[in-house]
Structure 1
Amino acid sequence: MKKRATLQIASSLLVCAALLVSACSSNAGTTASEKTAPEQAAATDRIVTDAMGNKVTLPVHPQKVIATYLEDHLVALGVKPIAQWSVGEGSVQGYLQKELAGIPAIPYDLPPEVVMSYSPDLLILESADLAAGDKYNQYSKIAPTYTVGVEKNTDWRKELLAVGEVLNKRDQAKVVLAAYEKKAQEAKEKLQQGIGTKSAAALWVLPKSTFIVKETLSSGDVLYKDLGFTVPEIVKEVTQASDANWNKISLEKLAVLNTDYLFIVNSKGVSLKELVSDPVYANIPAVKNGHVYEFSKDSSWLYSGTIANGQIIDDVLKSVLK
């Protein structure tokens, strides 16, 4: 739904040069290969092309990273950002706060002056929209700036591998992804053995509206692709009609939602019992059979990544296989 240092590189080279001069004056016996070590280190900086066609010189081991809305991937790869993406009044991704406790929030639109205040050595933008207008030029003067782009940010697996590449952690990203695939496959087999082939849907209920998840994104990707639940017809309709992760569903459509299991992110401020007592839910098979499960807005159901999706898998198994 809501859904990057030229100066610093120069500084690094100056530091390397200073170290080289110091080494030469203190050790006349230094070999030629040793003298060029700083140059060799500089040569290991990687140049990549991002989704906007920009050639970006990446630091070998970035230490101060801001990666908007990509914190799941950072944490999975053992990297703590210096600021974390937020929306509204500092609302951050709740399910990551155990790992990101104490990390300050940065506005979702990344004002350049705020980004500069953190002195990052790498900025990773999930979407080219964040670099619209003159913003990319402003960001690139602050730090090397890499834009992931739509071809990868609509597939969290590709996005994870892209972030891993940018962070110089490509092998680690592959290991993390393989571990997730194993977890998902094992969960799928448990569900097949426990309940057989059943349908499922995920709703996000707010005070004045209800949204249903798209088949191929967010928790929909987990439910249908990874865990093998059957896709309800209404979810298929939503998937064909919109590119958004979550889409508003009318009361008329909600009333005829035909699903065996219903997972609800409850942001309405009422109990689950009160919520499903509304007549609009009365004919949903999951409600009739007591197969409705509630999760808070701070849960991972609204997000994507190995951490978010792993938590969703755990939630499903605990709920369904009692």
Structure 2
Amino acid sequence: MTKRWQIVKLGLVLGLMGSLLLGACGAKQPTSTTVTRTDYLKHKVKVPKHPKRIVASYLEDDLVALGIKPVVQWSVKNGSGTQAYLKEQLKGVPLIDYSLPYEAVTKAKPDLILIGTSSAVANGKYAQYNKIAPTYVVKNGTTVTWRQTFLDVAKVVNRQAKAKKVLAKYDKQVQTTRQALKKSGQHKVAVLWVTNNTAYMVNDNSASGALLYQDLQLGEPSLVKQVSKSATADWSAVSLEKLAKLDADDIFLVNSQKSASLFKDPLWKNIKAVKNNHLYQYGDSSSWQYSGPIAYSQMIDMVKTDLLK
């Protein structure tokens, strides 16, 4: 073998080795675009690490608080009922019926479907939704707090750091408001919702009840405790005869029927807070019927306005 050929051969070998080294350095290792999560019903779900098109009916508050705009928003009665307190944040977002029809969900082209209640995927519905997009059932039920639900949503959409900031800000708001309320004196409060000429009382362990009695530590009337013990939902119907004995200093009223005849009944007019003009009324566009960091923050502002005059 000639010396010249030896030099050429050495050059070829070195060149090949260099190419291999450069290729190894420059090649990107395959990255996973999904992560497997176990949902509340023990489904193993491969969800996108950074979902872009999320359907999450009735979980919009959580998503918006995390800086995410869903592709559709919850509604009832053919779109006449929506979460109006999120009107600005959900501007331009199409409506979807609360029952989440398969056709409407498919049309939204989601890359992730979040389900807020276990009952929504009963009787084979989970499999149907999961064919459309990865479907994750978040923590829910009477023993699950709104914080647990919020943190579960944050985990599945990969926004845990943002969730911690949201909760820290909320907790600070709660603390300062709680201190101000204590300085103003003791307040026993109740939340009522009137619709179809019927009064409903909120459960002390959910929705606005959890905010008032647990977070803000306001006084809980004996009737609220009594109704909450047998409550099977956030709101329970209460007769006027029982309401007449309501020992609340203040009542927050979600008035969905201003013309309801019960408001003219002597029993209603003689309720302690009503008689003392400590009745604070809000419409369906307020956040009083909902839960979540945004709804609760807004409710705190309303409580401060009403009770710290």
SS at match of 2:225: helix
State how far apart, in whole Å, the 2-side matches of 1:280 and 1:32 are: 83
CA deviation vs aligned residue, 1:73-100 (integer Å, no higher than 9, x gap): 0000000000011122211111011110
Match of 1:171 among 161, 166, 176: 161
SS at match of 1:56: strand
1:238 positional shift: 1.4
State how far apart, in whole Å, the 1-side matches of 2:226 and 2:87 are: 34
Which structure dedicates a bigger proportion of its chain to helix? 1
Match of 1:199 among 178, 188, 194: 188
1:223 positional shift: 1.0
2:90 is aligned with what amino acid? L
**Matches of residues 212-231 of structure 1 in structure 2 within 5 Å?**
212-231=201-220
SS at match of 2:213: helix
Q: From the superposition, tell whether residues 280 and 28 of structure 1 become closer, same or farther in structure 2 (CA, over 3 Å).
A: farther
1:111 positional shift: 1.1
State how far apart, in whole Å, the 2-side matches of 1:266 and 1:181 are: 29
1:150 positional shift: 2.8
Corresponding position of 1:295? 282
Corresponding position of 1:286? 273
State how far apart, in whole Å, the 1-side matches of 2:28 and 2:278 are: 67
- Given the two structures, how large is their TM-score scaled by the length of structure 2? 0.89
Residue 95 of structure 2 corresponds to residue 105 of structure 1: yes
SS at match of 2:87: helix
Match of 2:297 among 310, 318, 321: 310
Corresponding position of 2:53? 64
State how far apart, in whole Å, the 1-side matches of 2:143 and 2:34 are: 25
State how far apart, in whole Å, the 2-side matches of 1:153 and 1:31 are: 55
1:29 positional shift: 8.0
Unaligned runs of 5+ in 1: 1-26
How many residues align? The count is 290
8 Å Cα contact 1:261/1:286 also seen in 2: yes
Match of 2:129 among 139, 159, 164: 139
Residue 231 of structure 2 corresponds to residue 242 of structure 1: yes
1:283 is aligned with what amino acid? N
Corresponding position of 1:24? none
CA deviation vs aligned residue, 1:223-267 (integer Å, no higher than 9, x gap): 111111111111111111013111111111111111000110011
SS at match of 2:243: helix
- Larger Rg: 1 or 2? 2
Corresponding position of 1:209? 198
State how far apart, in whole Å, the 2-side matches of 1:191 and 1:70 are: 30
SS at match of 1:47: strand
Residue 40 of structure 2 corresponds to residue 51 of structure 1: yes
State how far apart, in whole Å, the 2-side matches of 1:130 and 1:153 are: 18
Corresponding position of 1:19? none
1:153 positional shift: 7.8
1:134 positional shift: 1.9
Identity %: 42
Q: From the superposition, tell whether residues 235 and 82 of structure 1 become closer, same or farther in structure 2 (CA, over 3 Å).
A: same
8 Å Cα contact 1:48/1:58 also seen in 2: yes
State how far apart, in whole Å, the 2-side matches of 1:283 and 1:113 are: 51
1:208 positional shift: 1.9
Match of 1:78 among 67, 77, 87: 67
1:36 is aligned with what amino acid? K
8 Å Cα contact 2:139/2:148 also seen in 1: no
